[in-house]
Structure 1
Amino acid sequence: MSGTDSGTEHLTVRREGATLVLTLNRPEAKNALSLPMLVGLYDGWLEADADDSVRSVVLTGAGGCFCAGMDLKALAGQRATGGDADVYRARMKADPDLHWKAMLRHHRPRKPVIAAVEGHCVAGGTEILQGTDIRVAGASATFGLFEVRRGLFPIGGSTVRLPRQIARTHALEMLLTGRPYGAEEAARIGLVGRVVPDGTALDAALEIAERVNACGPLAVEAVKASVYESAELPEEEGLAAELKRGWPVFDTEDAKEGARAFTEGREAVFRRR
């Protein structure tokens, strides 16, 4: 494990081998989204994609909580003072779309993103979750989109993404009732893929990441891209798009190395070429 100099006071970044771990770090506020957190998140996504030695990303929260949603006052900068606050506000002014990119509404990392959820993952937390690829939850985790209960709209992408990720009847119940969902129910309806004992979600996510990291990175990234590209295409168009993404992978040195390693009974050494 090696540290990095990136991150902000509300978003920590560290390396675990080939995995970049992004931690929402505002536990006193249940990791509610703030300006420093959003800036740190977006920079973390960019860092992961720019660094070829990073093969996966794990997103988690500090203090036994994932994210309780948006802190509107903090986002508006009302609680931010000092030089750093001016920098964050300048970043937002320069890129008014930055918060949507941070929340994975208007940005999709090319590396796989694995969510490790403990405690509250509600409102904006559930919206960010929908931008991740693989999701692990502690047994006591809570999910939900509470916006309608407050007369608000879940504008982080949930009315579009949720019905594409889980059955429409479940999506509409979650969206229109604003009720909380426990981890087991979230897994049953397909919002998360795995439920583990409390306190072990991060370990489980890192284990998944290690399995991803052991695979050919060019193949992994092409597979992820193909899944999302073809998701809403008619089957014939989706299959054509899959061939366009997939065939070039077979021509890579990594593909040849994978075949050699299998024949020789050893672990493959992939070099992204």
Structure 2
Amino acid sequence: MNIKKVGVIGCGLMGAGIAQVAAQAGYETIVRELNDELLEKGLGRIRAFLDKGVAKKKMTQARRDATWANVSGATDLADLADCDLVIEVIIENMEVKQGLFKELDGLCHEGAIFASNTSSLSIAQMAAVTNRPDRVAGLHYFFPAVINQLLEVIATDQTSPEVVEALMAYARVTGKVPIVARDAPGFAVNRFFVPWLNEAARMLDEDIANVPTIDEAGRETFRIGMGPFALMNATGIPIAYHSTSSLAQALGEFYAPADALAAQFESGEEWDLEGAVDEAAKAVVGERLMGVVFGVAAQLVEESVATVEDTERGALVGLRWARGPFGMMNDLGMDRALELVKQAAAHHDSFDVPELLQKQAVAGQPWTLRDVRLEVKDGIAVITMNRPEALNALNEKVLRELKEIIAQVRDDPNARAVIVTGEGPAFVAGADIRAMMSKSQAEIREFTEFGQGVLNDIERMEKPVIAAINGFALGGGLELALACDIRLAATEARMGFPEVGLGIFPGLGGTQRATRLIGKGRACELIFAGGQIGAEEAERIGLINRAVPLQQLLPEAERLAKRIARQGPIAVGKAKTAINQALQMSLEDGLAAELDGVMETFGTEDQKEGMTAFVERRRPEFKGQ
């Protein structure tokens, strides 16, 4: 399912951002507005944001011009007929959206995907008016769409897995961190975030604390820059009010707007953030906010709206919380988390303690939150470094998970080739510096030795490993890529060893593997200068095999992995070992080791099958035996 051309209907603040994101990623993008005046305003927004990016040196003039060249405008809906993906960003009115989708259904080619950016309306109801409900989904962007990396991919019961997969791939190519949510009120993030805002207003109703106290308690408890009232002022009180009203209509009284929120909405004024903070009240406020968030988050997972990990990631990436609801529960302990939810439930007759949370507390186990993800499909194991909120930085937890997954892949006969990539804008942007700063010298040695061992596991595993470098590969991230057998990189990826600028130097094999790969002189320049190089330069000096556009990176890695997976797995594994030995042995010893390896392949069932298939002129069916 190949998306090449994207249509965006509605070019207000959000629509303009969504269109710019698509165009920046290289997609031919057409925006549609109702008339020429609105269209020019929308295109002007995109132009202005691009020019601002150049002025602030966040974008080169060349990239700005290339992005703008991908954008066109239209007032006739028929001009979107050849789009592969159409995203509507119009008024939050079901009848209007249904009318649009019905009209699009008669205009667009049968393979086109329709997506809605709604934050509260049912995707299934929109899909029902089309003849392609399996190709309708939600793409819920977070404001500002150009900057906020989170994207909720909303699937109805009828949305096909292939469409979800295509939208996840599209999201990643456009620089987003996608999470999957079921078509349910509030989806994943707003389901717990909106009650967080509303509970702050409820505490005003109950005279528990004033606005500045609640805001400060919210900031400190969740370790964020703005409290709930400041956030409502920034994003718009009407949005908060309508969101609570929508959730209440679908889910019940607990979600209904607090009296204070309704009154503030009616007044048309912002919250007054001034006043003295009551230090004694902050603990109670923080506990109430946590209790509501923990309870709602557990409830939505219990209802299969989203997974624990996707819900957590939504808070980390979309809301910029230091810890998401499940990470906070793990930090507090399940018994304490359950106690806070019970306290919150005692304040609300229509708020029940989720059974899932009660079972977790009885088990005494923390929520599982993994930073490395593994998927095995069609003989290919894809390992994704999944800590995008920290640019996939390496810490002890990440390395331990990576080691476990490498062992799992090594022992899995169904995994014949491996791809390692990163979620978000980075492959791996190095080690977690803050975590390292708190370690003693003995702990640093232990961490470094362990990291070297993990990368050795990758290099020594008799399965080929392809690094798909999707973004920054710095320090330990580049060392991880160098431990792989083949390196493909997106054309905009950046690589380097910045360690000397921190007063250290690469310690996870960078000095050794880079020297063996590109020679002493180039390795010295790369490490001593501490700078970064682009993918084209990395290809020129032999640091990577080749650079490809980001849209093609994972498809190209998968094509290569599938070609490798079709070969005899024993032969490929022995060949990998022999190639690695070539870097460590004399030619004479290497040839002897090669001979031993070749002889091990003879007499195997795969050798017999391969040669028999060649004689019979058919494709061999290797079993790894």
Q: Which stretch shifts more, 148-157 or 138-147?
A: 148-157
Superposed counterparts of 1:181-196, under 5 Å: 181-196=533-548
- The question of whether the paired residues in 1 share the 8 Å contact of 2:570 and 2:624 is answered with yes
Shift of 1:57: 1.1
Q: What secondary structure does 2:426 align onto?
A: coil
- AA matched with 1:154: P
- Which residue, out of 369, 376, 380, partners 1:19? 380
Superposed counterparts of 1:76-225, under 5 Å: 97-104=449-456, 108-225=460-577
CA distance in 1, matches of 2:459, 2:512: 15
CA distance in 1, matches of 2:400, 2:369: 8
Counterpart residue number, 2:614? 262
- The question of whether the paired residues in 2 share the 8 Å contact of 1:166 and 1:190 is answered with yes
- Which residue, out of 240, 254, 264, partners 2:592? 240
CA distance in 2, matches of 1:75, 1:9: 20
CA distance in 1, matches of 2:449, 2:512: 18
CA distance in 2, matches of 1:240, 1:69: 38
70 and 255 in structure 1: CA distance in 2 versus 1, 3 angstrom threshold: same
Q: What secondary structure does 1:263 align onto?
A: helix
CA distance in 2, matches of 1:148, 1:48: 34
Shift of 1:272: 1.6
Q: Return the structure number with greater helix share.
A: 2
- The question of whether the paired residues in 2 share the 8 Å contact of 1:67 and 1:121 is answered with yes
105 and 13 in structure 1: CA distance in 2 versus 1, 3 angstrom threshold: closer
Shift of 1:230: 2.7
102 and 199 in structure 1: CA distance in 2 versus 1, 3 angstrom threshold: farther
- The question of whether the paired residues in 1 share the 8 Å contact of 2:451 and 2:508 is answered with no
Count residues with an aligned counterpart.
255
- The question of whether the paired residues in 2 share the 8 Å contact of 1:38 and 1:102 is answered with yes
Q: C-alpha offsets along residues 145-198 of structure 1, whole Å, 9 cap, x if unaligned? A: 011122111111111221111122111110111110000000011110011112
Counterpart residue number, 2:414? 53
- AA matched with 2:406: W
Q: Does 2:425 align with 1:64?
A: yes
Counterpart residue number, 2:401? 40
Q: Does 2:575 align with 1:226?
A: no
CA distance in 2, matches of 1:230, 1:99: 24
CA distance in 2, matches of 1:96, 1:130: 16
- The question of whether the paired residues in 2 share the 8 Å contact of 1:56 and 1:209 is answered with yes
Q: TM-score, normalised by structure 2?
A: 0.39
Q: C-alpha offsets along residues 8-42 of structure 1, whole Å, 9 cap, x if unaligned? A: 52111111211111100111111111333211110
- AA matched with 2:532: P
CA distance in 1, matches of 2:378, 2:438: 35
Counterpart residue number, 1:4? none
- The question of whether the paired residues in 2 share the 8 Å contact of 1:101 and 1:107 is answered with no
- The question of whether the paired residues in 2 share the 8 Å contact of 1:143 and 1:183 is answered with yes
- AA matched with 1:102: V
Q: What secondary structure does 1:200 align onto?
A: helix
Q: TM-score, normalised by structure 1?
A: 0.86
162 and 20 in structure 1: CA distance in 2 versus 1, 3 angstrom threshold: same
Q: What secondary structure does 1:165 align onto?
A: helix
103 and 199 in structure 1: CA distance in 2 versus 1, 3 angstrom threshold: farther
Shift of 1:104: 3.6
Counterpart residue number, 2:198? none
Shift of 1:136: 0.5
Q: Does 2:373 align with 1:9?
A: no
Which structure 1 segments of 5+ residues have no match?
A: 2-6, 79-88
Q: What secondary structure does 1:164 align onto?
A: helix
54 and 97 in structure 1: CA distance in 2 versus 1, 3 angstrom threshold: same
Q: C-alpha offsets along residues 80-114 of structure 1, whole Å, 9 cap, x if unaligned? A: xxxxxxxxx9xxx9x99443333447962221110
Counterpart residue number, 2:35? none
- The question of whether the paired residues in 1 share the 8 Å contact of 2:459 and 2:484 is answered with no
138 and 199 in structure 1: CA distance in 2 versus 1, 3 angstrom threshold: same
- AA matched with 1:32: A
Larger radius of gyration: 2
Matched residues, percent identical?
Answer: 37
- The question of whether the paired residues in 1 share the 8 Å contact of 2:406 and 2:457 is answered with no
CA distance in 2, matches of 1:133, 1:177: 26
The structure showing larger relative contact order (alpha-carbon pairs under 8 Å, at least 6 residues apart) is 1
Q: C-alpha offsets along residues 47-105 of structure 1, whole Å, 9 cap, x if unaligned? A: 11111221111100001320100003346899xxxxxxxxxx9xxx9x99443333447
CA distance in 1, matches of 2:604, 2:455: 33
Which structure 2 segments of 5+ residues have no match?
A: 1-160, 162-367
Q: C-alpha offsets along residues 94-141 of structure 1, whole Å, 9 cap, x if unaligned? A: x99443333447962221110001110111111111100011000000
- The question of whether the paired residues in 2 share the 8 Å contact of 1:257 and 1:268 is answered with yes
- Which residue, out of 604, 612, 620, partners 1:252? 604
53 and 125 in structure 1: CA distance in 2 versus 1, 3 angstrom threshold: same
Q: What secondary structure does 2:550 align onto?
A: coil
